[in-house]
A = this chain, B = another copy of it.
Amino acid sequence: MNIPSKYLEEAVEQFSSLPGIGKRTALRLVLNLLKREPDELERFGDILQQLKSHVQSCSSCGNISDTAICSICSNEKRNHRLICVVEDIRDVMAIESTGTYQGIYHVLGGIISPMDGIGPNDLFIQPLVDKCAAGQADEIILALSPTMEGDTTNFFLYKKLHATNVQITALSRGIAVGSEIQYADEITLSRSIQQRIPFQS
């Protein structure tokens, strides 16, 4: 593409650095932005620049939060001895939207995937192991997507946790094999949590 403005080209490069956004799509987005008022672009830019300083990871569970401890971990009414392990904050959002889960979460921030070069050390795992070893949990629900990577990660966590006397369960497989937790409908997801089963390694 021969873009007739180097400033436009830089903006297109920024947008096409995002996952799933090609050059053509990026150009369409930037041409749309060019039609807006300067103060709208000012605001968009400010939000990008302030994103990382405002948004943090909950130091207890790894969920995204505006505070050091997230609103779920700081909620006294939740069962802090029941911990649901998920890959991503989008899974927390999906499970929270069912309105049926009263425990807390542990967000790994990814899944073990040798193909993508992601190993256990790249994930937020140790604080979960520490909590279990310190006797702070009764039950861990493994709620990773039923894919090969999810199974690998489940097995790794099982090996780390089974000596700690914590009960390890997994979501009931109402969710179709190969599909992602975050795209499951609320009823299926809600039932999978209620009907969770002991994890079998």
Residues of A participating in the B interface, judged by any CB pair closer than 8 Å: 1-8, 10-11, 14, 18-21, 25, 27-34, 36, 38, 41-55, 63-66, 70-72, 88-90, 92-93, 96-97
Contact = CB atoms under 8 A, between A and B. Distances in A.
Given A2-B97, A65-B4, A89-B4, A28 B20 contact: yes
A19 B26 CA distance: 11
Please give the count of copies of this chain that the complex contains. Answer: 2
22 contacts: A2-B93, A3-B93, A4-B70, A4-B71, A4-B93, A5-B66, A6-B66, A7-B50, A7-B54, A11-B51, A14-B43, A14-B44, A18-B29, A19-B28, A19-B29, A19-B32, A20-B28, A31-B89, A33-B48, A36-B52, A44-B48, A45-B49
B28 A64 contact: no
Nearest to A36: B52
SS of A interface (majority): helix
Contacts of A1: 93, 97
Given A4-B70, A5-B65, A45-B45, 7 more contacts: A4-B64, A4-B92, A5-B55, A14-B47, A18-B29, A21-B29, A30-B51
Contacts of A63: 4
A20 B11 contact: no
Contacts of A8: 51, 55, 64
A52 B34 contact: yes
Closest 8 CB pairs of A and B: A45-B45, A45-B49, A7-B54, A45-B48, A5-B66, A18-B29, A14-B44, A7-B55
B10 A47 contact: yes
A88 to B, nearest CB: 8
Contact of A5 (B28, B64, B97): B64
Nearest to A89: B4
